[in-house]
Structure 1
Amino acid sequence: MSLEEISSTATRLMDEGGVEGLSMRKLAAELDVNPMSLYHHVKSKEALIELICATTAARMHLPPDDGSPWQEQVRAMALSYRDHARAHPAMWTYVHNHPEAIADRKLALWQALYRILRLAGVPEPELRRTSDVLHAFVTGFVIAETQGHLPDGQEEIDRTFDTAIELIVHGLAGLSSG
């Protein structure tokens, strides 16, 4: 049994039943192992959830460093984050309530965002603050969307998200030129 197998199965259980629907016993039953054997890989349910957050974030499709304009990469990153959050709402609700679960700035998610922000001209000392603001902005949008606080209809919500991305792009452009 690998950490990847544990994480994938736990993610599926969390997607199906939320954080409260995930237990070490349920996970062990799904993996057809003794529950105690899971503790050789993860020390607690909290550690399991952090593993899920890290491995799920690592599976997120991140824009490649392919020389495309930073504006396109920002759009791709925001869309990927949103799609991922919508695919795993229980996990992203958990992350919103426990930001330390993805706080490790060595995660590919943060490294890709930092790379894009550098391309946009964000000064090195401002990377952390700018990335935190963008993360809060997009996370807030996703929460508003999943909680039904946006206009009805997926097409209108998508258009609203496009407007949010344009605000991000123009804000970053203004930040780097100011």
Structure 2
Amino acid sequence: MDGLSMRKPAAELDVNPMSPYHHVENRTALLRGVCSVVAAGLRLPPDDGTPWQDQLRALGHAYRSVACAHPDLWSYLNTHPALIDEEGELWTVFNRILVAAGVPPERLPATRTALYTFVAGFLSAETGGSLAEFRGASDADGTFEVALDLIVAGLASGHS
């Protein structure tokens, strides 16, 4: 991601190096566009009456699938938070699920940040390869399920 420049897409498309500027303002706008395309591929849980616990698990799996499919982009996003669209559909769905779990509106930002940080830490370890180094964590899928169990249990207990 650090090596992505405006010239690279131009070279790939065999167009003038200035041509991308007719479509995006700068590299940051290009990266935001890439993030939007990837985010559009998220399989977010619909608001269909499914219990919030199942929706939260589905959201966690959707987010993990993107992080694992695009580890460089995911890592870059987490170190460049200005690229994250906090008004995007991911956050709208996340808020909806947290409200269904009983999180009071005044606690939404802190709860969302805490849970995001928890999952982001797990995914950083997984996509960076260090998860396998932790004792007993060689089964990333099983360990992620334990993480989701802990999150759901914590929210269900009302300690959000």
Q: State how 1:108-119 maps to structure 2 within 5 Å.
A: 108-119=89-100
Question: Is the aligned partner of 1:159 residue 2:126?
Answer: no
Q: Between 107-116 and 19-28, report the one with greater CA deviation.
A: 19-28
Partner SS state of residue 62, structure 2: helix
Is it true that 1:147 corresponds to 2:128 in the alignment? yes
The residue identity in structure 1 corresponding to 2:100 is L
TM-score normalised to structure 2 length: 0.90
Scaled by the length of structure 1, the TM-score of the pair is 0.81
Q: Which amino acid aligns with 1:69?
A: P
Q: Which of 106, 127, 133 pairs up with 2:87?
A: 106
Q: Distance in 2 between matches of 1:64 and 1:155?
A: 32
- Which has a greater percent of helix? 1
Q: Which runs of 4+ in 1 moved over 6 A?
A: 152-155
Q: Count how many residue pairs are aligned between Structure 1 and Structure 2.
A: 158
Over the aligned positions, Cα root-mean-square deviation in angstroms equals 2.0
Q: What CA distance in whole angstroms lies between the structure 2 residues aligned with 1:60 and 1:81? A: 7
Specify every segment of 5 or more residues in structure 2 that has no aligned partner in the other structure, as ranges.
none
Cα deviation, 1:8-67, whole Å, max 9, x if unaligned, reads: xxxxxxxxxxx1342211201223332212112211112211221233123211011111
Matches within 5 A, 1:62-77: 62-77=44-59
Q: Look up the match of 1:121.
A: 102
Q: Which amino acid aligns with 1:83?
A: S
Letter in structure 2 aligned against 1:94: Y
* Structure 1 spans left out of the alignment, 5+ residues: 1-18
- Counterpart selection for 2:37 from 40, 55, 66: 55
